[in-house]
Structure 1
């Protein structure tokens, strides 16, 4: 994982030929959607996949590009380094790969305007609720936003999806409902079934 010279940290895994025709994608927040939210996760040992995530991603993969988009201001706040964050993401991707699940890309914004590290202190256009990460992927793969979905557990995720012109689903318990979400689902598995019905 490398830090781009401007304001985004990006890891992209390329596209397989069989996926070149895909014009729809599922954008996935990390904490609370794919893994349990540990509040500034700073160690590989703390990665805990949420129940049903692998099955849901396997079901979605033939129909959608799978793109993780995550704010990680812990870097800007000095809670962990960019190198440690890269280790965590490499370990997460390895866990997915062991179960034959592969993301098309991972986009990560380590910046925050109130950070304590000068090199990461910025009002970043890629930090959700700004839609920068999503818009980059839409342009890169000529995606149709109306056929894409943003999944997250925070209002910032819903607003990012809204800003990119796509439906946004809140993942979490009933009290996690958001006025900015198009729908709410208890977990990724429930959301996947709804998206597959839409894709079909």
Structure 2
């Protein structure tokens, strides 16, 4: 039996950058008490879920490489975000992050990585694990490097301005 998944069971996905898209980018966020959701972010994730799309987060977390926080903090923040999303009937199917940076101060994290955007590694890893319909999927980011990662993975990418995420995402769901 082949490992090929028929197109009819593949689902579209929205790949969200985290800081600057789902939450305000305050620089090196790792404390739940400092997370401020972008207007409409939780509702945007719920809209994605309601239409049967996968919802993924792909985020560079160089604060780990810089010694500002550790991977446990990243996991704790993502678990807290998942709990907060659940309160409004939304969920993220997978959180992916890259702790590496070539100028990191923590030696084990000081390196180039195929997972660090603008490289598409985090997206490719998700595409390997989930039955995603790439043609109907897209990424929402707030930096050019996010769109470069999307393009390198064969996805459409959209630059978010930081206003209301639900208002931004809903028309894109209609295009897909």
TM-score, reference length from structure 1? 0.79
Map of 1:146 onto structure 2: 135
Q: Secondary structure at the match of 2:33?
A: helix
Map of 2:55 onto structure 1: 66
- Within 1, Cα distance between the matches of 2:120 and 2:39? 28
Q: Secondary structure at the match of 2:91?
A: coil
Q: Secondary structure at the match of 1:106?
A: strand
Name whichever structure is richer in helix by fraction. Answer: 2
| Contact 1:169/1:191 (<8 A) preserved | no
Map of 2:167 onto structure 1: 190
Gap regions ≥5 residues in structure 2: 1-7
Cα RMSD after superposing both structures: 1.6
Q: Secondary structure at the match of 2:96?
A: strand
What is the Cα deviation at residue 196 of structure 1?
A: 2.1
What is the Cα deviation at residue 69 of structure 1?
A: 0.4
TM-score, reference length from structure 2? 0.89
| Contact 1:33/1:171 (<8 A) preserved | yes
What is the Cα deviation at residue 166 of structure 1?
A: 1.0
* Alignment pair present for 1:124 and 2:124: no
- The ranges of structure 1 where at least 4 consecutive aligned residues each deviate by more than 4 angstroms after the TM superposition are none
Q: 1:46 aligns with which of 34, 40, 49?
A: 34
Q: Secondary structure at the match of 1:50?
A: coil
Gap regions ≥5 residues in structure 1: 1-19, 174-185
- Within 2, Cα distance between the matches of 1:141 and 1:84? 25
